[in-house]
Structure 1
């Protein structure tokens, strides 16, 4: 009730007017208690992430130049086409053999130091190839040896990528998606730039630019400032003990080894054969220019898949990523049924977007559910298992396609790809893994 209601009564009920009391002084109201403002999350584009973004962009750009540079340099020097395969195969074999050791070393000496060392290890090899191909062509043994050395450097570098992102990015999924977009764009730009350099100058110029990318990457990592984590200063076990410990960590997570077990089948029967068979089929039927355009369209689809992963945040990331993988068999069916180039382009776009979205969901799940001190080794086991089976699939794709037909292998791969998605969704730890 207000002061006026308390002071005055109605004239109908009061004969004697009541004295008017002076208005009561109201005590000053205490200042309103304001709830503390919610903390502002740190921005994604902080200094460390900007440096990491540049390092990854230039690294993928440089890696995309290497196959074109090897093909132009070796074929231009009069060597048979098989030498290109041997050079690239040596890189892949070295990477697959040493990546597990790279994971342990990254845990022991920090990922940042190992990535700087890996860049510095690969830089002289690129410089030697640049000079040699400019002057006429190095001996094959030197090409193979330097390619193997580059593969070892990549094996030392790669495990640290997974563990660095959670340390520099407040939003791990968004960071992975942004990096996936730039990697897709650089995957398209690298081969195109290498082709231009080879046409204007020589294969040596492409290797020279590749060496510059290693230098830029090393400088970016050198400028990064990361807070230490307990494992950086903890007393370490022996090398073999830590390798075994990584395996125990790997086995203890059913969703992790479940996905990789299913993915080994996928790499052997789908992802591995798809690249060489697509290249041979499209080149034979539509020409090498059409194949180049289709690969560019695939890269554009990968960029779109990364952009979608920035916006979409499913509660069950692995389940959502598995459903997205249904875009890949669409691409394989179109290839296997002899669709026109326009339809093949649509299939490549859908396939690129689907695969990129899956990769972001998978990377984010691993980086947010695995402890930081074991993340380098976990990522190494992931990469080793996937890459080995993809390598075997690529090797066997030619003989199998020659025996039963390229179209038949692609259509069979489409069916297996659907079964892989079904398997990912059937395995309960994979299907129900929540966002961290």
Structure 2
């Protein structure tokens, strides 16, 4: 773990026992606050698609209006996340995450009131959704750089967070559906707003030791982005994974979600698809738990091997396997992806210096998200031409090739665990 502040280093080292007899302490005050903040944030994020769907369709708008609202969130996030990384370096990640929560809080409250009173104008919904995307872009880069500053064991921290995020991803839509059934979409947005308030309070209470780079002189935003790009290019294992992952997002991860949804819903109904997503979430939790126990010497190589669970899922979907086997595939896919994410996040957070981590994470998120968005947008038209099953089967083949590429590239395969 890269730490440049001597006081923080000594405090952290004091928590780490000598030898390998016991893992370092994890649940310090800072990590507990961060854990709560991430849990409620992911819970709130999971509620938004259900709340938008219920509110807009219930008000008589078409289903495309839901797609536009969520698409504007994604577009705003993708455009501003690079600026979020630079601003987190300039003003510290903790401050930017507080600002981001406070930026999104009033927008969610406005949506809560508007949907509770009736049907808000679509332009207002779209604007508020875009503002929420900007807030998420300002928030996200700080997540990666905060973890190694508060957790003496970065891999365990990432694994624990992955488990709770998987559980909250399952709980969010279910809670939103319950609130909509009992009251209306406004109630779901009200709870979503409360998650931003809780998150902001947690980060206000967080006490992160400063590092010298926090007070270092800064250039212009564009100069800082250019510096981040040079640092990104200087690490072959980092840009190598991102380059391979752009292909993966375009051809596999992006199309997989919408095509699975359409295929399963048309064949078996929405209830079956809901159960399938719950099984996938359970797999994600198990993948996080495995990452708590396993400490491979070559984390990216181990994570790449684990990714072989995803083509198994795509193969089952593309060949029309029975529902029990589809549940098995969804579970394997969730576990595989969660394990890879822990290995990848831990590698980035321990190999990239603290003063470059916000920008590195921003480039990572921007590249991955943009290509996944393109893959989702193109999946429908391509599936109409060649068939959904064929797109999924081709995706399974490409997923295997991607794993091979990750293992063939030497800087990726041999990156050690720190």
TM-score normalized by structure 2?
A: 0.95
Alpha-carbon distance in 1 for matches of 2:194, 2:122: 23
For 1:211, which of 171, 182, 193 is the aligned residue?
193
Match of 2:92 in 1: 110
Q: Could you say what secondary structure the match of 1:78 adopts?
A: coil
Q: What's the offset of the Cα at 1:283?
A: 0.2
Alpha-carbon distance in 2 for matches of 1:344, 1:303: 18
For 1:350, which of 314, 320, 332 is the aligned residue?
332
Match of 2:255 in 1: 273
Q: What's the offset of the Cα at 1:209?
A: 0.1
**What are the equivalent positions in structure 2 for 1:23-422 lying under 5 Å apart?**
38=18, 43-422=25-404
**What is the count of residue pairs matched by the alignment?**
400
Q: Does the 8 A contact of 1:270 with 1:413 survive in 2? A: yes
Q: Does the 8 A contact of 1:274 with 1:410 survive in 2? A: yes
Q: What's the offset of the Cα at 1:41?
A: 7.2
Alpha-carbon distance in 1 for matches of 2:126, 2:323: 36
Q: What's the offset of the Cα at 1:239?
A: 1.4
Q: Does the 8 A contact of 1:41 with 1:170 survive in 2? A: no
Deviates more, 1:120-129 or 1:232-241: 232-241
Q: Does the 8 A contact of 1:333 with 1:410 survive in 2? A: yes
Alpha-carbon distance in 1 for matches of 2:214, 2:113: 39
Deviations 1:276-326 (A, max 9, x none): 000000000000000000000000000000000000000000000000000
Deviations 1:135-163 (A, max 9, x none): 01210000000000000000000000000
Alpha-carbon distance in 2 for matches of 1:245, 1:211: 36
Q: Could you say what secondary structure the match of 1:434 adopts?
A: coil
Alpha-carbon distance in 2 for matches of 1:212, 1:270: 35
Answer 1 or 2: which has greater helix percent: 2
Alpha-carbon distance in 2 for matches of 1:176, 1:203: 32
Q: Could you say what secondary structure the match of 1:315 adopts?
A: coil
Q: Does the 8 A contact of 1:105 with 1:114 survive in 2? A: yes
Alpha-carbon distance in 2 for matches of 1:321, 1:350: 13
Alpha-carbon distance in 2 for matches of 1:318, 1:131: 46
Match of 1:25 in 2: none
Q: Could you say what secondary structure the match of 1:132 adopts?
A: helix
Deviations 1:315-342 (A, max 9, x none): 0000000000000000000000111111
Alpha-carbon distance in 1 for matches of 2:62, 2:215: 51
Deviates more, 1:233-242 or 1:189-198: 233-242
What is the RMSD of the two structures over their aligned residues, measured on CA atoms?
1.0
Match of 1:34 in 2: none
Alpha-carbon distance in 2 for matches of 1:390, 1:143: 24
TM-score normalized by structure 1?
A: 0.91
Alpha-carbon distance in 2 for matches of 1:341, 1:62: 30
Alpha-carbon distance in 2 for matches of 1:41, 1:399: 50
Query: Gaps (5+ residues) in structure 1?
Result: 1-36
